[in-house]
Amino acid sequence: MTIQEASEHYQIPRRVLREYESWGLCGAVKKVMGAWQYDDTDLERLSTIMTLHDIGFTKEETEAYMRLLLEVDGTRAQRLRMLEEKRSAALDEIHFKERQLQRLDYLRHEIRKTQEETGPVQK
């Protein structure tokens, strides 16, 4: 499968495919008549890369995670730690947004309460 076919079929931006190629993580990818060819293993790795991008990994974090993934021994704890850190950051962001919503709702409530007490706002 060529870069164009992979991009179109799996909805993977070409820049991600080029990043993947530049990392040298695609041992099975070969140039055939000047075009990169992806096999099923590459497509599985690309799926992981897209997932990492979608959950907020930076380019550098994604590359580090993928290099760990391809090492033979002893990287599970490191990869799990990376995922736990990203999960913790996502939860912090969710909690921050929840506090924002509570404050917004409080201000909306105050305006409505005042409106009920004094009547509609005149222009």
pLDDT of residue 35: 66
Q: CATH number of the domain that 2 lies in?
A: 1.10.1660.10
pLDDT of residue 121: 59
Closest CA to 46 of 64, 19, 68, 73: 19
pLDDT of residue 106: 97
pTM given for the model: 0.71
List, for the chain, all residue ranges whose pLDDT scores fall below the cut of 70: 25-36, 120-123
Same domain, yes or no, for 63 and 27?
Answer: yes
The residue assigned the tokens 């709702």 is 105
The CA-based diameter of the chain, rounded to the nearest angstrom, is 78
Same domain, yes or no, for 63 and 112?
Answer: no
pLDDT of residue 32: 59
Last residue of a domain, one of 70, 86, 114: 70
Which helix (H) or strand (E) segment holds residue 83: the answer is helix 76-118
Same domain, yes or no, for 41 and 59?
Answer: yes
Same domain, yes or no, for 50 and 16?
Answer: yes
Closest CA to 48 of 76, 70, 28: 70
pLDDT of residue 50: 87
Total number of domains in the chain:
2
Q: Which residue range forms the structural domain that includes residue 43?
A: 1-70
